[in-house]
Every structure is written in structure tokens, then in C-alpha cells.
Chain A
Amino acid sequence: MEWVNIIIQGVLIGGLYAMFAAGLALIFGVMRLVNIAHGDLIVLAAYIALMTTDTLGLNPLLAIMIVVPIMAAIGYGLQRALLNRTLGDDVLPPLLVTFGLSVIIQNALLELFTADSRRLNAGAIEVASFPLTEGVWIGVLPLLQFVVAIAVIGALQLLFYRTALGRAFRATSDDQSVAQLMGLDNRHIFALAMALSLAVIAVAGVFIAVRTNFDPAIGPARLIFGFEAVIIGGLGSMWGTLVGGIILGVSQAIGAQINPGWQLLAGHLAFLLILAVRPEGLFPKVRG
């Protein structure tokens, strides 16, 4: 029973990793950009949630309504003002600019909020849980997080394949210049993709803020989790990121059970193992 519990916890945390990954996979799919500041933007979302709940007295889960549009606006502005200038055949400029951005966000948060660990209080829902079968308990909040992750990824999937915006994303992804000839404004499309990516991680950021302690330095590890989930799941596949996130979450949970020091290591080893035996990931769709 103990192991069933551990695996269920791993699966539920995997939903969070899938949200990190979906944001990363989305912008990579549309504009072949890997955002090294991704993790730090997740932490930024957590701090924005902290500020809104502190000033407005909102329940953190309701604060999502405010954090998501703010992050989306930041994403749109960032892409238009900065990141669009870095796109091209050379991989160096986007990597270095987003790396610089990562350092800037981390140190700005450090300057504003100090290195102290913070946490949001969501009230009774934090500790609520119910028994699945005898001896297996499921927390309401982890379950909610998992359901939200599935909903977010499902919505992204629908948006990609069923809407005009999704068609624009796919067209730009396939061939930028032809998409432009067809009347699409790439700069605008890219900015919308980044806005969407940051909207997704805004949701993840609020859940992090409620479920765990956070401080300005935890961003890079979130980037790495999201990245590992993308590679495990396979490039370009939205549902793949969910599977990748779950595999990562379960590996970490099992590692932590064997030895607390092995939690992160077990996740990384699962990733390296997949890279060794199936470098294209489990459900590949596009080649990077």
C-alpha cells in the first residue's frame, strides 16, 4: 500500500511538471526558441500571486484569475520588445539573452523579496484529503492540480488543432516565410505564443506557491524539470509532456522513498536513461 501511495503522489506532482513542460514545448514548437528564463518566470508568477493575495486578500486559487493575464501580458511584451530580435538561424543570441534574463529575474526577486522562503496560505483545502481505498489517501489540492494540468494541456491541444490561432501557430512552425506570405504577422504570432506559454506557467506558479515553499533561487530547477518532461515525452507532443511529467514525478517519488538524497537524482537518471535508449522521446512528433 505504501508504494501505491508513493506512485500516486508521483503521478499527481507529474501534472505540475507537465505544465512547466507544456509552456516550454509550446514556444519551441512555434518558434524553435528555448527559454532559459522559463523557470525564473514560473517563480515570478509565484511572487505575483503572493503580492495579489497580500494586497487584495484573495484566496490564492482565485488569484490565478489575476496572475494569468499579468503573466500573459509580460510574455507578449517580452517577445515583442526583446526576444523577437534574437530569433534567426543562430542559436546563440536567444540562448544568451534568455540566460541573461534568467539572471536578471533571479536577482531582481532577490533584491525585492530577499532570499527568505515564502508560501501562500490557501486555507482548509491545503490539508483536505479523502480515502481512495483502505490505506490510500489522496489530497484534494494535489488532485485539483493534476486535473487542472490535464485541462490546460487538453485546452492547448484543442487550441492548436481546432482554432484559427492554432492554425497560425502550426503554419508559422512549419514555414515562417510562407506563413508571412499568407498574411500572418510572425512577430505578433510569436508574441501570442509566448503570452500563452507564460499564461500556462502562471497557473503552475500559483500551485507551486500554495503547495511548497519557494524562494528566488528555485527557478532553474523548474526549468530543468520541464525540459526533462519535454524530452521524455517527445518533442512536439502536448500529451507527451503529460506522460513525461508523470514519469519524472514517479521517478522522483520512488527515489525519495529509497533515500531522501536521491529524489532529484532519480528524476535526472530517468531522463538520462530515456535519452540513452530512446533519444527521440516516447511520443515524438517533430524533429528539433
Chain B
Amino acid sequence: MTASFHVEHATRASRIGTAAFAVAIVLLAAAPAWGGRDDLRLLSEIYAYVALASLWNLLAGYAGLVSVGQQAYVGLGGYVLFASTIEAGVHPLLAVPIAGAVAAVVALPVAGLLFRLRGHYFAIGTWVVAEVFRLVASQISALGGGSGISLPAAIVTEMASSRQMREFLIYWLALALVVIVLAAIVLLLRSRYGLALTAIRDNELAARSNGVDVTRTKLAVYVLTAFGTAMVGALIFLQKLRISPDTAFSVNDWTAFVIFITVIGGIGRVEGPIIGTVVFFVLRQTLADLGSLYLLMLGAVAIAVMLFAPKGIWGFLAERFGWQLLPLERRLRFAPDARTT
């Protein structure tokens, strides 16, 4: 008998959600027409955090690789951009994918070492790697050593001669990058690898006994997130025009915020980091004056969410109301004749 059923990903909610995403992307792509310079800057920053948090979510929420050292790849991406444009004369926009590729290559031997550490110790191991990257960067005097370096004006004008056009270009690049990252994650999760990843997330042992090559899948996700994270890092520092070891490998900026965003929004769900980033920026715009107290409160909120609503804001809403913004569910739909036979 031939299979008379098919797998359906979309629900009514996800169709509405996907349509809303499409409209939002068009509106956001037109932002240079309706927004000021500050709006574009803020939006670019939001895109960067959505992308970083989505990648961390894929790593920790799906593959179970809890890293507290993703700043290693943000910083590596930034430094590869500066090194390839300054030392090798690469066009800055081309340097962004190069940064991703370099990070993916670096991630392979790093994973070879770190995967020897189980669960908890893996997390601290990733932090050691980030520290090693930071210390090495501060030893490279051609890139400014410990005090850092600015992107030379000649390279900056290479992108576009007018400042406004440059800002538009970086803005569109940031938007494109976050759309690509999100689309790649959705496509990955809908593929058979996504099924394997979800199985690993839910029960690693069961996944293994059903024939999922857990180590290989985790390695692939680790390398893929390094690739994406480094591209985002390259873009962040292309916008800042200046890099130093302490800003590039900052655990607060690129890991603490990212983890809090993902946990508060909802870990293990694609929509979580998006919701988390919105909450994060709303809080930041209103509470930024509090300085270190703001970070303290954010930490406390993340702990409370982890203890009392471990699936985060989106997890709570999705379970309560059955919402999903992206077509990720799998439902079996039987053909009418299949039911009668």
C-alpha cells in the first residue's frame, strides 16, 4: 500500500505568522525611507541580537550544547574583518562571509577539544577558548594589541562614498543577515536534521537508540553557529568601525545578554529569541540609566523565568494558546480514502 498521508508543517496560526513576518520584513527594509539615523542604528543592533540569540538558541536549546563562550566567535568575526580588510585589502562587505568561513574552520578543531568535556564542563571550556582568543588578539600588535584599532578611512569609504549610503548599506546587510539566519534555522529544523535535533533536545538517549548520530549532529550545529555568529560579529564591528580585545570578546555583551534574551523569550523555540530581544530592548530603553543595577535585575528575571516558567514567555503562550508564528510543527494529514481502508 502506498502512503496515503503527508506531513503538514503549517497551521492557521503559522500562516498568519509567516505573512506577518513577510510584511514586517518589507516594512523594515524600507526603514531608511521612514526612519532617522538613530532608528536605523537601534534596529541594526536589534537585528544583531536576534541573530546572536537565535544561533545560541539553536546551539543550547536544540543541540544541548550550553556555551558561555560564543563571544569567541563574535570577536573572531570582528577581528577577521579588520585583518582581511587592513592587511589583505579585501572589500569590507566580502569580508563578512569570509569571517564566517574562517570561524567555521577554526570551530572544527575547537569542537574536537571541547567535545571531550561533558555537559556542565563543556560550558566552562567554551569560556576558556574565548579567553584564549582574547589573549591572542591582544598579542597581535598589527591589529592594535591590547588597545585595539580603528578601521582606516580608505576602507570605510570603499563601501560607499557618502556616509548616508554607507549607513543604509550596513543596515540592509544587518537585516539581510538576520533574515538569512532565521530562514536557515527554520529550514534546518524542518529538514530531517531538524527532526534529529528536536529528538536530541527531548531525549538524547532515545535519539541515539533510534539511530541519530548525536555527536555528528552536534558538531554540525556547533560549526554552523560559529559560522553565523562570526558573520554577525563581523557586521557588528563593521558598524562600530573600531575593535579591541575587551569589546570583541566581552562576555557580558555577547553572551550574558544573549542568554538572558533567549531564556526570557523562550529557549528551545525559534520565536523565543525574537520575543526576548523585544523585551530586552524595551527594558533597556527604559532602565538603561540604572547601569549595573539593570544587569543585576536582568539576571534576577532570568533566574526567576528559569525556575518558574522554564519555557519562557513564548513557551508559555504557545502552550496556552497553541500559537506558532513559524511553520515548524509536523502534523500527519491522511488522504480521505486512507481512513476508510
Contacts and interface: CB of A to CB of B under 8 A. Distances in A.
Bound together: yes
Interface of A: 28, 32-34, 36, 82, 85-86, 91-97, 99-101, 103-104, 107-108, 110-111, 220-221, 223-224, 227-228, 231, 261-262, 264-265, 268-269, 271-272, 275-276, 279, 288
A111 B121 contact: no
B263 A103 contact: no
Contact of B299 (A33, A100, A221, A269): A100
B132 A272 contact: yes
Contacts of B263: 96
A99 B136 contact: no
B306 A97 contact: yes
A107 B295 contact: yes
B306 A96 contact: yes
Contacts of B127: 220, 224
B206 interface: no
Interface string B295-331: 1101110110011001000000000000000000000
Given A86-B307, A264-B135, A268-B132, A34 B300 contact: no
Nearest to B268: A92
Given A95-B120, A100-B299, 12 more contacts: A34-B121, A92-B60, A100-B260, A100-B302, A100-B306, A111-B296, A224-B124, A265-B132, A269-B132, A272-B113, A272-B132, A288-B119
A102 B93 CA distance: 37
A28 B259 CA distance: 23
Contact of B128 (A93, A101, A268): A268
A97 B139 CA distance: 34
B267 interface: yes
Q: Is the interface of A mostly helix, strand, loop or mixed?
A: helix
A92 B262 CA distance: 12
B288 interface: no
Q: Kindly state the interface size class of chain B when it binds its partner.
A: 35 or more
B293 interface: yes
B120 A33 contact: yes
A25 to B, nearest CB: 11
B306 A91 contact: no
Nearest to A223: B124
A34 B123 contact: yes
Nearest to A35: B120
Nearest to B115: A279
A72 to B, nearest CB: 22
A276 B113 contact: yes
Nearest to B296: A107
B165 interface: no
A262 B298 CA distance: 35
Nearest to A28: B120
B45 interface: no
Interface in B39-67: 60, 64, 66
Nearest to A103: B299
Contacts of A261: 135, 138-139, 146
Closest 9 A/B residue pairs (Cβ)? A34-B120, A279-B116, A103-B299, A107-B292, A107-B296, A100-B299, A91-B119, A100-B303, A104-B299
Between B66, B120, B125, B146, the greatest number of chain A beta carbons within 10 A of the residue's beta carbon is seen for B120
B296 A275 contact: no
B68 interface: yes
Contacts of B146: 261
A96 B262 CA distance: 11
B71 to A, nearest CB: 12
B300 A104 contact: yes
A271 B124 CA distance: 12
A270 to B, nearest CB: 11
Contacts of A275: 113, 116-117, 125
Contacts of A221: 131
